[in-house]
């Protein structure tokens, strides 16, 4: 992998990740851009104890542009985009409309391929492996920023999720705090370790699921399963079999196997719902990496970041063909999920569908 860092016309950082070591990246951003102006701030909810990002400047972000005006495609002739070069393998750049900025964190966009009509599932294992390297490199770099406590790599896919740009891409958020979902995991982890005499909750979950009926895919170094208490109609958790706290700690064997299992999983997701005569439509999903925080784990007695298990959570809001799972009163009002699809049935369906 070759990494080339440059700057866009408004001063934001842009990084090319190339499979070839001889790639040359000298294209200049020719757009007349004004400096980025953000108004992000973090407000803490005194009642719930969580944090909310206030980012009013995002109201003006690009919204469903036509394909020939996609800001994530390579620049071509007089059509200038966020990527100055005429082609790329993987590219990462600072979001022009970030939810987090300055002391409130940092937001980046990750473009998986220059092919506008592709999806992550269309990548080759080599291309997916390059994305993994980019995620890992950005996690390392962002973790060193003074304000950053947690790095979150994720992909939103599909208009149903709220995606406003159709180009295959994901994002990376560098939070200046430990996120509420991670805080819940840390509390459960600490409580279980104390109650069990030192056992690790993540290890116990993976061991129990490995022997059960909810396993979807398994390799030598990774295992994917539908969790016992899945919140979403189709939800799969992908764990390395050797517990590591973050992407940086994956060994070469796990890195080599990951693209094959992950691509297989994504392709199966795209074949869950049969739309009959109209064929299968791409499944909307969220794919989320959970990594250990980089800050001190104050308040979680007896655990450290090596106790936390890196894993990926993949889920869709579609519950059946043509029907979505909406977060209504119980979910949105009380955070009590109601799942219409039994996890065992979801796992069986994902085992049944072929990816090709």
Catalytic positions, written as ranges: 169
DSSP 329: I
Q: For the chain, how many helices (H) and strands (E)?
A: 6, 15
18: tokens are 């190339």
Alpha-carbon distances of 264 from 16, 19, 336, rounded to whole Å: 26, 22, 31
**Which residues 6+ apart lie within 8 Å of 348 measured at CB?**
213
Query: CA–CA separation, 105 vs 292, rounded Å?
Result: 17
Partnered with residue 93 across adjacent β-strands are 14, 109
CA–CA dist 176, 174 (Å, integer): 7
Residues 316 and 287: beta-carbon distance below 8 Å: no
Rg (CA), the chain: 21
């Amino acid at each position: 992998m070759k990494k080339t860092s440059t700057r866009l016309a408004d001063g934001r950082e842009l990084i090319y990740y190339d499979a070839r070591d001889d790639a040359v990246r000298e294209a200049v951003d020719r757009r007349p851009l004004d400096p980025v102006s953000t108004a992000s701030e973090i407000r803490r909810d005194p009642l719930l104890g969580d944090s909310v990002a206030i980012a009013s400047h995002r109201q003006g972000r690009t919204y469903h542009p036509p394909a020939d005006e996609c800001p994530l495609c390579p620049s071509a002739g007089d059509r200038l985009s966020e990527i100055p070069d005429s082609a790329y393998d993987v590219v990462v750049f600072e979001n022009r409309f970030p939810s987090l900025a300055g002391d409130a964190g940092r937001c980046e966009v990750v473009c998986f391929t220059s092919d506008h009509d592709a999806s992550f599932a269309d990548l080759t294992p080599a291309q997916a492996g390059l994305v993994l390297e980019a995620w890992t490199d950005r996690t390392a770099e962002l973790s060193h920023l003074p304000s950053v406590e947690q790095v979150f790599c994720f992909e939103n896919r599909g208009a149903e999720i709220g995606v406003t740009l159709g180009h295959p891409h994901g994002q990376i958020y560098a939070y200046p705090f430990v996120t509420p979902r991670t805080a819940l995991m840390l509390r459960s982890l600490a409580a279980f370790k104390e109650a069990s005499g030192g056992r690790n909750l993540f290890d116990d979950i993976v061991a129990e699921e490995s022997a059960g009926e909810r396993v979807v895919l398994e390799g030598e170094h990774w295992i994917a399963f539908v969790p016992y208490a899945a919140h979403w109609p189709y939800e799969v958790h992908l764990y390395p079999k050797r517990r590591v706290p973050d992407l940086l700690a994956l060994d070469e064997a796990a890195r080599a196997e990951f693209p094959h299992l992950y691509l297989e999983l994504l392709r199966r997701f795209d074949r869950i719902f049969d739309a009959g005569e109209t064929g299968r439509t791409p499944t909307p999903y969220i794919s989320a990496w959970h990594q250990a925080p980089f800050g001190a784990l104050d308040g979680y007695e007896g655990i450290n970041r090596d106790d936390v298990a890196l894993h990926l959570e993949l889920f869709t809001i579609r519950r059946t063909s043509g029907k979505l799972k909406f977060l209504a009163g119980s979910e949105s009002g009380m955070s009590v999920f109601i799942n219409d699809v039994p996890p065992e049935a979801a796992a069986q369906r994902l085992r049944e569908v072929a990816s090709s």
